[in-house]
Amino acid sequence: MRPELCLSAALLCLAVSHRAAAQGSEKLFDSKGVLELRIATDLKALMQERDSLKLKPHPGTLTYVANDGQRVSIETELKLRGHWRRQRRNCDFAPIEVDFPKGARAGTIFAGQGALKLVTHCRSKNPEFEQYVLREYLVYQLADLLTPVNLRTRLVRATYVDTVGKQDSLTHNAFLIENEKRAAARYNAQVLDIKGATWDVVDPQLGALVSAFEYMIGGSDWSLVGLHNIVLFEQKGTGVIWPMAYDFDWSGIVWTRYSFPDPRLPITSVRQRLYRGICRTPEEWAPILAKFEAKKTELYAVYDSVPELDPKYVKQTRQYLDEFFDVISNPRKMKREMIDTCRPGV
């Protein structure tokens, strides 16, 4: 059986089992609806924890309204996370890791979850950063349409309440991201704990999907060799290794004001696409790119799914996707942009 068929069959079986398991009480990632969350903690103390060597959890209470209308509160531990966005000079409100002690999440929508990443708004007084949260969240929805191995997400409208009364409450866009180890378990896999990899060790079909996806979104801030914004899942039993992309706020499609390409790269803006993925022949690319073409309508529709998104940005993003589809539908352009520029073995 061809490798791509083996991969597709295995993932199809997993998807069926996941849908069956999901039937019953609602879980966090079952819905695409916006989750209203109230997060109460000592905000000043939490946001002062910027030193990566001294990060410590802070007690907090997370509250949401269940489907039956009842308010549900869960005791949590909160700590800052991230790299660039955790630095005070970049974000006055850093990303947060939300961890639920054992037993605290039973019977709630967070059942089966452990630590979760919360992507926050970064700068509280600049409405542009509210849009950035929505833009990055939507890239995860694009990935969900195209690549079979992904982290699940849930859009959140978060209200942060200072329990010591020294700061006013804040309400901003955010989104939750599934824990990598939990995601791996859904695919009967484990996170591969290595420092880096080359394309010859990963599943070539999924490697090509991820590579084309990163090119589509203008992703230059990633590396398989350095495992930067890429995590590897190793399927149990078969040993097949799947690459999975995450963290997209420096991509061209998100287009944040603070993003810029690595100066070692031959581009001057993140909006310029640069292919950095697996090497494939035109014949090998054909079935992969056909999947992008087949999903084209759905990909564009993602940008109609969030009414709060800036209409000007939606128009610009459609044009940005148009440029990608123009490349992959033109053999000469595709050869120049995605075949001739690839680096074998990297």
DSSP string for residues in 140-186? HHHHHHH-SS---EEEEEEEEEETTSSS--EEEEEEEE--HHHHHHH
Query: Which residues have C-beta within 8 Å of that of residue 334, sequence separation ≥ 6?
Result: 282, 285, 289, 327, 328
Beta strands across the sheet bearing 230-235: 189-191, 230-235, 241-245
Q: Averaged over 187-196, what is the pLDDT? A: 94
- Please give the pLDDT value at position 18: 41
Return phi, psi of residue 95, to 5°. Answer: -60, 155
CA nearest 50: which of 23, 80, 7? Answer: 80
User: Which token pair is 193?
Assistant: 């704990």
124-140 pLDDT, tens digit each: 999 999 999 999 999 99
What are the C-alpha distances in Å from 314 to residues 55, 306, 307, 323?
A: 38, 10, 10, 14
Say which residue, 112 or 207, is predicted with more confidence: 207
pLDDT-derived band at 160 (thresholds 50, 70, 90) equals: very high
- Is residue 13 helix, strand or coil? helix
Q: What is the DSSP string of 274-301?
A: ---S----HHHHHHHHHHHHHTHHHHHH
Q: Averaged over 299-323, what is the pLDDT? A: 97
| Percent of the chain surpassing pLDDT 70 | 92
- Please give the pLDDT value at position 244: 97
Distance separating alpha carbons of residues 169 and 318, to the nearest angstrom: 36
Say which residue, 343 or 192, is predicted with more confidence: 192
Q: Averaged over 92-120, what is the pLDDT? A: 92
Cα dihedral value 219, 223, 229, 234, nearest 10: 120
pLDDT-derived band at 68 (thresholds 50, 70, 90) equals: confident
Distance separating alpha carbons of residues 36 and 65, to the nearest angstrom: 7
Query: Which residues have C-beta within 8 Å of that of residue 126, sequence separation ≥ 6?
Result: none
List of E strands, 194-331: 230-235, 241-245
User: Which token pair is 144?
Assistant: 């969900």
Q: Please report, for the chain, the start and end positions of each structural domain, with discontinuous segments joined by +.
A: 29-181, 189-339
Q: Which amino acid, residue 272?
A: Q
pLDDT-derived band at 315 (thresholds 50, 70, 90) equals: very high
145-170: string of b/e by CB count within 10 Å (b at 16+)?
A: ebbbbbbbbbbbebebbbeeeeeeeb
- Please give the pLDDT value at position 25: 62
Q: Are strands 35-41 and 153-162 parallel, antiparallel or unpaired?
A: parallel
* Cβ count within 10 A of residue 89: 7
Question: Is the per-residue pLDDT at 277 higher than 70?
Answer: yes
Contacts 24+ apart (CB under 8 A), 295-300: 295/145, 295/146, 296/325, 298/145, 299/142, 299/145, 299/146
- Please give the pLDDT value at position 7: 53
What are the C-alpha distances in Å from 111 to residues 62, 66, 154, 314?
A: 14, 13, 15, 35
Distance separating alpha carbons of residues 202 and 192, to the nearest angstrom: 11
pLDDT-derived band at 16 (thresholds 50, 70, 90) equals: very low
* Cβ count within 10 A of residue 68: 6
- Please give the pLDDT value at position 110: 94
Q: pTM for the complete prediction? A: 0.91
Distance separating alpha carbons of residues 110 and 154, to the nearest angstrom: 12
39-63 pLDDT, tens digit each: 999 999 999 988 777 788 999 999 9
